[in-house]
Amino acid sequence: MLVLITYDVQTSSPDGARRLRRVAKVCQNYGQRVQHSVFECIVDAAQLTKLKLELMELIDHEKDSLRIYRLGNKYRNKVEHIGAKPALDLEGTLIF
């Protein structure tokens, strides 16, 4: 299924900046960055649980927020892209 992950990490302290980098890194391991703090990941239920646990360990629950949108398997008609930086269709034909 396609899962959309967005986050807000408070970066006013150096500690926050480090959290931000780490959250981005974890998200990138599972999916592709479509906008600055928005990631699209194609994962199964087990992978999603793992990803969620990894992120929950990282963030500061007092200051940061994390939103996860499950778009299911039939996500193609639910997502539309307009403008620059079109995302890669990870389940389409991949030729570079």
Partner 1 sequence: MRKLLNTLYVTQPDAYLSLDGDNIVLLKDQQALGRLPLHNLESIITFGYTGASPALMGYCAERNISITFLTASGRFLARVIGQSRGNVTLRKAQYRISDQERESALIARNFIIGKIYNHKWMLERMTRDYPLRVDVERFKSISHQLDEYLYEARSCENLETLRGLEGQAAWHYYQVFDDMILQQKESFTFHGRSRRPPRDHVNAMLSFAYILLTHDMAAALESVGLDAYVGFLHRDRPGRVSLALDMIEELRGIYADRFVLSLINRKEVTPNGFYQKENGAVLMTDETRKLFLKAWQAKKQEMITHPFLGEKIPWGLVPYVQALLLARYLRGDLDEYPPFLWK
Q: Annotated binding site for Mg(2+): which residue ranges?
A: 8
Please tell me what DSSP assigns to residue 66: E
Total residue count of the chain as it appears in this document = 96
Chain contacts with partner 1 (rule: CB under 8 A): 25, 28-32, 41-44, 47, 88, 90-96
Q: Cα–Cα distance between 53 and 91 in angstroms, integer?
A: 25
Supply the minimum distance, in Å, between the C-beta of residue 30 and partner 1: 6
Supply the minimum distance, in Å, between the C-beta of residue 88 and partner 1: 6
Residue 8 vs 54, nearer CB to partner 1? 54
Give the end-to-end CA distance of the chain in Å, rounded to a whole number: 24
